[in-house]
A and B are shown apart, each in its own frame.
Chain A
């Protein structure tokens, strides 16, 4: 049954986004067809808790149903756990891989549903892109992880001294997972700039992009590493 959601979006726009997904170099290796066996759904953790089906997404792409594709691009792809249990597919599809591509297209095109899914996550983007490590010890705060119990507060209260009680010297940090050399971070900034990754962030959060661009430009200028 054709999707009757998102009628306000022109079919041409949906087709354009679908073509962008299909043009990804990985697409042909992730999608071969679908036996409709449901093995991917049986293995999928997200299918147990959400109205979500890796089989439906694979079939939609195989059938090139751009209306349903657009609905899934907005309403489904952020439910995926990216565990790749669905790679068990006997047809050799990778539904999880297809979803990675769809998410990337959602980011590149600044979809509102993407911004909603990533609201609250942007501090993590800032951390990984500016420090080179994804999570840091000082993120363990009781207000951020209330469901993890009082032990989080104990860690937080003792953080500085507990980090100094670690034998590996590289772990004597609280704002980073480990000590990362300044030169290493500068090289990472160069990678973000040279691959267009920093530009992608402007589609997620313009303010975050501007802050990170300033940090990276200043650091790269000081380091003498040229990215043009």
Chain B
């Protein structure tokens, strides 16, 4: 066997075989007609994707409707709790593009982190939580867009179960009706990184810095494309359509170089329960199978991903490995934070990088951002809040 020439340049997968994608013949079923049929039968209300929408290519060639505006943001516990620049950047991008969105308080977590960690729930409860949130979105008139990869994947599992299991559907419907809410299924379940892909050219037009010296590695989030693979975005122009185009399609459009590495399919080591109470596993996997491999094969300036747990595992796990002199030390963030930085968002007021562990300053300097000035500005905000001169930092401060 010929030795593999590393690093693998570019993102084109070389193969002699041409994969013709035919949505009519794939094994992975398309649930959308079944969802509409259940709507016609009065089993639930189908919330349509509002116009204008973007038609994105998916794994087997179906086109998925991605809403551009009028979106109801289903936030993520881990993002809002521990990586608040993640969701703030998503909101900032919507504002900069002039797109209307709604940031709800009538929203709970999908509770799937807990379910995959402890199994202290069941099908009916998980489905009821999902349908309660969908109902809340419908009642505002805005369309749900999901920030967390796990919420996105889990909601698609729930949708599959509700379509196929009439008994479960009626049980959950009875619960939602008891809450006094309508029983609603969105026409498409959409992840924010799909929205990022849909608006990538609008984002690229607003880039303020030359990103050509920046090399990124991308970690595709397991729950985005492994739980239910059929309606994740796959673009024939990105990786030859062999891997999801989420994140990579955006980062390339922004002008940065995306480098490949051999363990791209591996998970980040989050483990759901492990990240909270058995982190020896998480630390080992995140550093040995992901960060060190990326460093060895691609030596990136930044690791970009599109899920809560992945940012957490890949960023936080590096401290202990660094203490042991391992080959780590790459900043990790979401592609929403990276895009916002590239478009001139404040690294601390918007991207909130001070919540991250690995040193991000070399990346910012390479991008051409004056880190010291930005930190001084943030410190001034903090001083004003402490003195009572300012109650909160608001959107007016950052736009």
| Residues in A lying within 8 Å of B, measured CB to CB | 25-26, 29, 43, 45-46, 48-50, 78, 81-85, 87-88, 92, 100, 103-104, 106-107, 117-118, 120-121, 124-125, 128-129, 132-137, 139-140, 145, 147-149, 151, 154-155, 158, 161-172, 176-181, 183-185, 187-188, 190-192, 194-197, 200-201, 204, 225-227
Contact = CB atoms under 8 A, between A and B. Distances in A.
Contacts of A140: 82
A46 B116 CA distance: 14
Q: Which of A107, A118, A124 has the most CB of B within 10 A?
A: A124
B223 A83 contact: yes
A197 B226 contact: no
Given A49-B281, A124-B117, A171-B84, A194 B178 contact: yes
Interface in B165-192: 165, 167-168, 175, 178-179, 181
A35 B167 CA distance: 32
B357 A151 contact: yes
A61 B116 CA distance: 20
A41 B124 CA distance: 30
Contacts of B119: 100, 103-104, 106-107
B297 interface: no
Contacts of A178: 75, 80, 105, 107
B129 interface: yes
Interface stretch (B13-21, B263-271, B326-334): B263-271
B242 interface: no
B116 A162 contact: no
| Chain B, interface SS category | helix
A88 B116 CA distance: 18
Q: Which of A137, A151, A176 has the most CB of B within 10 A?
A: A151
Given A165-B393, A167-B398, A177-B109, A135 B382 contact: no
Contacts of A195: 121-122, 124-125, 128, 175
A161 B279 CA distance: 29
B109 A82 contact: no
Nearest to B75: A178
Contacts of A165: 349, 378, 381-382, 385, 392-393
A188 B129 contact: yes
A128 B109 contact: yes
A134 B111 contact: yes
Contacts of B398: 167
Interchain residue pairs A-B with the least CB separation, the first 6: A149-B319, A103-B119, A132-B108, A83-B267, A195-B125, A82-B116
